[in-house]
């Protein structure tokens, strides 16, 4: 019987992928679709992808699938053949990474969730398929330059801090669930104006645009394929690039460079910097921006206290972490007094 879960220590898997010279293709895709037997579908995917050497993170729910993965280059055609063999995926757009990195993922995880995107919405209360009009890069650029158009970044604050579209509204939120009511409040009085939404690969806008149409906004548009596809079309078609900085991604790379502009600052010293990292103290693991100088000074940690803890033997660090719940923590102004808020630098 096939093992349908990873049983290897994550540190060992990280070391294995770090030492590997295998060429891999990093990509993402999503599809809203009503699955009847989610667990069976999840198990099918895991078994097939494990055999193909796929790594990455995939969420499956009764409403669809959301995947960020990497595939061995030698198995790329076999992977596509497997995926497109499902009628629901025939012709599905695969968002290939802008900066392909074979180290982007180190293990395979396919998880069953209540939703493929945590949005806090009651899908029965509105038509989730009535989404905004999809725009390619050229059409997005043209509409973005209209005087009455409102551009909205549907990503989190730490994503837009390192890169965003010119003139975009960027809500100060930690997650997508928070963003919907905050964005609606920011757009109050603009219900008759064109609203242009964008996110990393399109999935957040798919749901958000349907919600805002339900809430009475007349002209709602979304960037087809998100920032990833926009960057690809801009480069291949020689279009004006209205996105500046980096595109944050949720894998080991943490970002892809779209332009050479550095629009953010180190959260420790204030120097121009757009490199995110996680505090090396595993009991903290704060996501923040750190320049090379501060990385050396604090040994990859967010503070002196965390540096001291990270220098302890692993057994002592584990003892300090024992019994404490670990959660994803990201730097946000007002939440970490030892770090600088973006507007302070």
Q: Nearest-CA neighbor of 75 among 12, 30, 22?
A: 22
5, 111 Cβ separation under 8 angstroms: no
284 is catalytic: no
263, 165 Cβ separation under 8 angstroms: no
257: left (phi over 0), alpha (psi -120 to 50) or beta: beta
H or E element, residue 70: strand 64-72
H or E element, residue 245: strand 243-248
The Cα 80–Cα 144 span in angstroms is 34
Task: Centre a 10 Å sphere on the Cβ of residue 337 and count the other Cβ atoms it contains.
Answer: 6
The Cα 32–Cα 41 span in angstroms is 14
- Choose the catalytic residue: 199, 291, 301, 302: 199
Q: Any idea which residues carry the catalytic annotation?
A: 199
């Amino acid at each position: 019987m096939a093992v349908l879960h990873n049983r290897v220590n994550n540190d060992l898997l990280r070391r294995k992928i770090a030492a590997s010279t295998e060429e891999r293709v990093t990509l993402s895709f999503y599809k809203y679709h009503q699955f009847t037997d989610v667990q069976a579908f999840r198990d099918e995917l895991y078994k097939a992808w494990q055999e193909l050497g796929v790594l990455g993170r995939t969420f499956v729910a009764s409403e669809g699938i959301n995947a960020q993965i990497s595939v061995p280059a030698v198995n790329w055609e076999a992977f596509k053949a497997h995926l497109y063999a499902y009628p629901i995926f025939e012709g599905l757009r695969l968002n290939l990474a802008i900066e392909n990195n074979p180290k982007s993922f180190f293990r395979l995880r396919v998880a069953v969730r209540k939703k493929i995107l945590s949005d806090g919405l009651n899908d029965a209360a509105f038509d989730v398929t009535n989404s905004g009009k999809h725009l390619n890069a050229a059409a997005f650029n043209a509409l973005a330059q209209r005087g009455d158009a409102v551009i909205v970044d549907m990503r989190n604050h730490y994503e837009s801090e390192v890169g965003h579209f010119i003139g975009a509204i960027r809500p100060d939120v930690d997650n997508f669930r928070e963003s919907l009511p905050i964005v609606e409040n920011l757009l109050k009085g603009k219900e008759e104006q064109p609203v242009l939404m964008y996110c990393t690969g399109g999935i957040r806008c798919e749901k958000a645009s349907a919600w805002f149409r339900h809430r009475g906004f007349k002209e709602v548009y979304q960037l087809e394929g998100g920032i990833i596809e926009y960057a690809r079309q801009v480069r291949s078609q020689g279009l004006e690039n209205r996105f500046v900085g980096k595109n944050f991604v949720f894998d080991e790379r943490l970002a892809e460079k779209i332009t050479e502009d550095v629009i953010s600052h180190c959260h420790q010293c204030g120097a121009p910097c757009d490199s995110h990292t996680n505090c090396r103290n595993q009991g903290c693991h704060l996501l923040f921006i750190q320049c090379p100088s501060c990385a050396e000074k604090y040994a990859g940690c967010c503070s002196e206290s965390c540096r001291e803890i990270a220098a302890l033997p692993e057994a002592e660090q584990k003892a300090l972490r024992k019994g404490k719940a670990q959660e994803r923590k990201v730097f946000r102004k007002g939440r970490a007094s030892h770090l600088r808020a973006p507007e302070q630098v």
